[in-house]
A and B are shown apart, each in its own frame.
Chain A
Amino acid sequence: MGVTASSAITDPGAARTPGPPGPPLWLLAELTYRCPLHCVFCYNPVDFAQQSSELATEDWLRVLRQGRELGAVQLGLSGGEPLLRDDLEAIVAEAKRLGYYTNLLTSGVGLTRERAAALKTAGLDHVQLSFQDSTREMNDFLSHTKTFELKNRVAAIIKEQGWPMVLNVVIHRFNIDHIDRIIAMAAEFGAEYIELANTQYYSWAYLNRDQLLPTRAQLKQAEFVTDAWREKLGESMRIFFVAPDYHEGKAKKCVNGWGSMFLTVAPDGTALPCHTAKMLPGLAFPNVREQALRDIWFNSEGFNRYRGTGWMKEPCSSCEHREEDLGGCRCQAYLIAQDAQAADPVCRFSPHHDRVLDAVQRAEANAARGVIEHPLLFRDPVNSRRLAKATP
């Protein structure tokens, strides 16, 4: 998932004054954790294989209706691989009827010509296709599958249906040096947008962080290549380069502010302010099987816990940037500082910032030596069950 839903030509844009939160403009429906790919940077929970049963079709249709009443306009259909749900067409059709702009976020596996036509008829607005790399070898290695040729075919099917195409490539040490080829590939496909999203280090990506973090030199070169392509392509294809926050010393306003715009519903019906928030300890997140979305959005502890700035501790609570970044990412604070209320450790003012610098330093050293001390952990059910058992 990528481009943020809020370029506004007239929005006041100023810091939100305390008061009731605005509508959840972005509803992300994670339809399933099942996935044919086993990507090393996946942000799905490490224990995904342990999770209980998926919502039924009528549950999803109810969630869509409740979301639209609350004011949601963008609907992301994601996973896992959403094409594994047989009721995807029914879900899209209801979303269309309700007035959502519908985005399918897919690996492309399962998007046959017939399925694409059915989804078009149902009213699907847009497809975001993920690629792992521009070369077959690396694409297939990173996803632990043989899918490169298939993705090429799917790109053509997307164009055939007249959908705007966004290519999404998660960037890390193994593919960052191929950015020139990756952008060229997107241009050949006729993509409208390409998102070069540096890995965000949660879940599986966090487990593989020492292998995946790029070096500063790699990043600098990648940004240079990207700028050259922007110059060359002009308006014909937009390139989004999402910088990694580890290297910047600056926290990002995660999901545009906790409970301010994004609402994720996990496959089992858990409602979350962001797709990784379930890892945070001591927070009860409601389930759409038991509670209406309006009640969840406005009244639940899970959504109110980190709204605004009132929850902050130092150095955030007195920081002049607190409204700009809202303390950064809670999951990152928990993962790195073992404290979900701490400043995001990627921030240079965080008392835990040295842990981030150490990780970057380790990455530099590993890259220089060209050795990998631990094998990459692929996101598959066997690893998931093993890791879920290992952590209490």
Chain B
Amino acid sequence: MALSTDTRPRIGPGFRLQWEPVQNCHVLLYPEGMVKLNGSAGEIMKRCDGQRNVGDIVADLELAFSANGLQGDVLAFVEMAGKQRWLAWV
């Protein structure tokens, strides 16, 4: 399905998101591999629980970081992450 603010992304099958204290960042684990996420990627992905839609995630991030106008960046990241299969949605 095409990506929109109504999309409810979740972590892709076979991937696992977790916080790593030693690396001080979120990482995405998959068979024999790891993606190290930067701060904003980690903040977006930990909100991708299959419940919240992209609109909710944007609102939540804007509130948490006292920012606005994040929608474009979030949509671009989710699209990229979908292509990498880090995120999935129906």
Distance of A6 Cα from B32 Cα, bound (Å): 10
CB < 8 Å neighbour of B36 from A3, A11, A125: A11
| A 34-77 binary contact with B (CB < 8 Å = 1; else 0) | 00000000000000000000000000000000000011011010
| A 1-18 binary contact with B (CB < 8 Å = 1; else 0) | 111111111110000000
Tell me whether A3 and B31 are in contact (CB under 8 A): yes
Distance of A141 Cα from B32 Cα, bound (Å): 28
Tell me whether A23 and B22 are in contact (CB under 8 A): yes
A235 interface residue (CB < 8 Å to B): yes
Tell me whether A166 and B36 are in contact (CB under 8 A): no
Tell me whether B34 and A23 are in contact (CB under 8 A): no
Closest to A76 in B: B32
Tell me whether A126 and B32 are in contact (CB under 8 A): yes
Contact (A103, B38) CB under 8 Å given A23-B22, A126-B14: no
CB < 8 Å neighbour of A10 from B16, B32, B33, B37: B37
A351 interface residue (CB < 8 Å to B): no
Distance of A330 Cα from B35 Cα, bound (Å): 28
| A 118-141 binary contact with B (CB < 8 Å = 1; else 0) | 000000011010000000000000
CB < 8 Å neighbour of B27 from A73, A76, A126, A164: A73
Distance of A166 Cα from B30 Cα, bound (Å): 11
A contact residues, range: 20 to 34
B3 interface residue (CB < 8 Å to A): no
B75 interface residue (CB < 8 Å to A): no
Contact (A1, B32) CB under 8 Å given A23-B23, A73-B20, A192-B14: yes
Q: For the complex, count residues of B whose C-beta is within 8 A of A.
A: 21
Which residues 161-199 in A have Cβ within 8 Å of B in the complex? Answer: 164, 166, 192-193
Tell me whether B34 and A71 are in contact (CB under 8 A): no
A241 interface residue (CB < 8 Å to B): no
Contact (A101, B30) CB under 8 Å given A125-B16, A164-B14: yes
Chain A positions within 8 Å of B16 at CB level: 101, 125
A315 interface residue (CB < 8 Å to B): no
B5 interface residue (CB < 8 Å to A): no
Tell me whether B31 and A71 are in contact (CB under 8 A): no
Q: Is the interface of A mostly helix, strand, loop or mixed?
A: loop
Tell me whether B32 and A74 are in contact (CB under 8 A): yes
Tell me whether B31 and A192 are in contact (CB under 8 A): yes
Chain A positions within 8 Å of B41 at CB level: 9-10
Q: How far is the CB of A155 from chain B (nearest CB, A)?
A: 15
Chain B positions within 8 Å of A101 at CB level: 16, 29-31, 34
Tell me whether A235 and B85 are in contact (CB under 8 A): yes
Tell me whether B31 and A9 are in contact (CB under 8 A): no
- Other than the given A8-B36, A101-B29, A235-B83, 14 more pairs (CB < 8 A) read A4-B33, A5-B34, A6-B34, A10-B37, A10-B38, A73-B20, A73-B27, A73-B34, A103-B31, A125-B16, A125-B29, A126-B30, A128-B32, A164-B13
21 A-B contacts (beta carbon < 8 Å): A1-B32, A5-B33, A6-B33, A7-B33, A7-B34, A7-B35, A10-B37, A10-B41, A23-B22, A25-B34, A70-B22, A73-B27, A76-B32, A99-B18, A101-B16, A101-B34, A103-B31, A164-B30, A164-B31, A192-B31, A235-B85
